[in-house]
Amino acid sequence: MWSLTESLMRLLADKDAETAGMTLITLSFILLHKHMLMSTPIAVQLAEALLPLFDHDNSQVQLLSIKLFRDMMEYLEERENPLESPVQQSLLPLFFHCNDENQHVAEASRETLLYAVKFIKRRDLKKLLKEQKLWKFSKCLLAEDRSRAAEHLRRALRYLESPQEPLREAAISFMGMAGRHLRGQQQELQLICAALEDKTNDVSLAVGSLAIQTLCILRSGERAPISRFQWLQNHLRRAWKTRPRPSWLGCLPCQSSVED
């Protein structure tokens, strides 16, 4: 059966959801046979092949791939962390799918994410998940290694195009946090701003409003810092210039004392 595993892995990329789903079920049955040892290279290849399926259009394929990924971690837990890199890559997509509209996918994502942080021995992230502090989890993930913020950002971009409103909202919020860790990286910040501009006219008013707010915060951060007094002065000046002017104001006599 293991000799067929590589052929089965190629079928995971099949565009037909039924083919991909049946392949996942077959691989799950193979993995259940504990006496049949999977070689480390094949285990890593299979884990990497599962990652794109977390975002599959078919929720059943998503669910099966997420559960199989968790089973693989459990199967290989006693070995010398051959899956550390794929598990690290799984954290962000699993985090986003904790907000999935499909409750089965959301629940499986939370369970697998919890097991993933345990697998890579991240007690801080495990604590946040158990306390259901998902946004603190994402903040901690970004702060852990700022050099990977750009990498996380590029992975988050595809969730802006999700048909699910909660996933688009989660992606915008995450990109706002990622932007704070990219100060000085002009190219990456421009990438965020361009992506957010496209979402300002989203079909969802909530998503569009969040995109506008996040865009304003990121762009204000690009400007030179000013004092609180100067900021307040500028804000009041803009408010005064854009204040509504009553139509009857033009009928008032122009007094020199008013002009002074």
Domain membership of residue 189 (yes or no) is: yes
What's the rounded mean pLDDT across residues 107-129?
A: 93
Kindly report the three-state secondary structure assignment for every residue of 125-170.
HHHHHHCCCHHHHHHHHHHHCHHHHHHHHHHHHHHHHCCCHHHHHH
Q: Has residue 87 got a pLDDT over 70?
A: yes
Residues 6+ apart with CB under 8 A from 164: 99, 100, 101
Residue 97 pLDDT: 96
User: Is 104 domain-assigned?
Assistant: no
**Amino acid code (one letter) for 179:** G
Closest CA to 93 of 16, 214, 174: 174
Tens digits of residue pLDDT in 129-158: 988 888 888 888 887 766 677 788 888 999
Helices and strands (DSSP H and E) totals, the chain: 14, 0
Please state the φ and ψ torsions of residue 176, each to the nearest 5 degrees. -65, -40
Q: Are 159 and 171 in contact (CB under 8 A)?
A: yes
89 in a structural domain: no
Residue 56: phi and psi, rounded to 5, are -65, 150
pLDDT digit string (tens) for 202-222? 999 999 999 999 988 888 765
Domain membership of residue 154 (yes or no) is: yes
What is each CA distance from 136 to 45, 88, 140, 157, in whole angstroms? 31, 17, 6, 20
Mean pLDDT for the stretch of residues 23-43: 79
In a domain, 151, yes or no: yes
> In which residue are the tokens 């010398």 written?
80
Q: How far apart are alpha carbons 105 and 15 in whole angstroms?
A: 20
Is residue 30 assigned to a domain? no
Does the pLDDT of residue 53 top 80, yes or no?
yes
**Residues 60-73: pLDDT tens digits?**
999 999 999 999 88
Indicate left, alpha or beta for 81 from its phi (over 0: left) and psi (-120 to 50: alpha): left
Mean pLDDT of the chain: 81
Angle between helices 134-144 and 123-130 (to 10 degrees): 160
Q: Nearest CA to 54 among 9, 94, 11, 99?
A: 94
> What is the structure's pLDDT at 207?
94
Would 159 be classed as within a structural domain? yes
Structural domain total, the chain: 1
Evaluate if residue 248 carries a pLDDT over 70: no
**What is the pLDDT averaged over residues 170-195?**
84
Q: Are 66 and 97 in contact (CB under 8 A)?
A: yes
The verdict on residue 41 lying in a domain is: no
Domain that holds residue 205: 146-222
Q: What is the pLDDT of residue 229?
A: 45
Q: Note the residue count of the chain.
A: 260
CB atoms near residue 141 (< 10 Å): 24
